[in-house]
Amino acid sequence: MLFAQNSVSCCVYYSGETSFEAVTKADSDDITEHSHADKPRPYVSTVSDKRFMQYVHLNVHELIHSGEKLYSCAQCGKRFISQQALDGHKNIHTSRFKCTECGKCFESSSHLAAHRRSHSGEKPFECNICGKQFAHSYQLVVHSRIHSGERPYRCFECNKAFTQSSNLTAHMSVHTGDKPYKCQVCDKAFRQSGHLNHHMTVHTGEKPYRCQVCGKAFSHSQPLNRHMLVHTGDKPYTCSVCNKSFSRKDKLNSHKQRVHGNKRLH
């Protein structure tokens, strides 16, 4: 069983899974007893001040921030920030690393091995602070930042910091205005893939979120969470004027307007 150190460092690389997705990858030495902490990191990023032991890691890191993708797949047209990432992507087309369980193909043997844990349920990476277990080492690295407070990915536009590079990537669309995720049904566009998935339930009518108490189903998790207050009796929204409590925020706002009118409300 593997344990995380109290201070976990990481390197980043481009996976090619989406148009621009920087994936956090735990350095193998960060999850063992042999730490890199005492080794010099002479290469400093001018974008984020992050330090690296090897120039190639610095180069990839800065390409992730720039979003520049110079290497194109001749078969599907997908672009990548490094030749190494492109070479790995080509393995998907050749089915070199194919899962015998579901047929999904991967760019490397390590990615295939990690994927197989989704079938076996194995979670070999354990947090030494709270005991939570993970199937992938990078998930443990990201989780450890909950305890350390580390937020290594910083926006150069507004200085907002994030624990994951993918969150920073999604955040950047706020500044650029890009909406790369387009609905194939109605052409509505979104900044994040999660927002598109959320929108698609409008067309599919899918209701995957089901109340375990009464069986009522919902398209999204938020209305299910609101619905659960019916069963628990919780009323987390309290009027600042009369201290009356409500199970939903919209009911509190309606109460304020109807009962207290133009009184100064906090």
Please write the tens of the pLDDT for every residue from 105-158.
Answer: 999 998 899 889 888 889 899 999 999 898 888 889 888 988 888 888 888 888
Note the pLDDT of residue 32.
Answer: 32
- pLDDT tens for 217-266 read 888 777 888 888 888 888 888 888 888 888 888 888 888 888 887 555 44
Which element (helix H / strand E) includes 90?
A: helix 83-94
pLDDT digits (tens, 9 = 90+) for 21-76: 333 333 333 333 334 445 677 788 776 667 777 777 777 777 666 666 678 889 88
Q: Which residues does residue 190 pair with via DSSP β-bridges, in sequence order?
A: 181
Residue at a domain's end among 134, 150, 166 = 150
Per the domain annotation, does 48 fall within a domain?
Answer: yes
Could you give the percent of the chain with pLDDT greater than 90?
11
Q: Is residue 266 part of a domain?
A: no
Flag whether pLDDT at 79 surpasses 50. Answer: yes
134/237 same-domain check: no
Domain that holds residue 235: 209-260
Residues 243 and 119 in one domain: no
Q: What is the pLDDT of residue 128?
A: 93
pLDDT for residue 192: 78
CA–CA dist 74, 124 (Å, integer): 37
**Does 46 fall in a domain?**
yes
Contact (Cβ atoms closer than 8 angstroms) between residue 106 and residue 92 = yes
Whether residue 144 is found in the same domain as residue 221 = no
In the predicted structure, residue 97 carries a pLDDT above the cut 90: yes
In the predicted structure, residue 10 carries a pLDDT above the cut 80: no
Average of pLDDT values for 189-212? 83
Is 102 part of any domain?
A: yes
- Percent helix / strand / coil, the chain, rounded to 5: 40, 15, 45
Helix (H, G, I), strand (E, B) or coil at 171: helix
Model pTM? 0.42
Same domain, 232 and 120: no
Q: What is the 3-state secondary structure (H, E, C) of 115-167?
A: HHHHHHCCCCEECCCCCCEECCHHHHHHHHHHHHCCCCEECCCCCCEECCHHH
pLDDT of residue 95: 92
Say which residues have a Cβ less than 8 Å from residue 122's Cβ, sequence separation at least 6: 135
Q: Which of 102, 129, 150 is the last residue of a domain?
A: 150
pLDDT number for residue 25 = 39
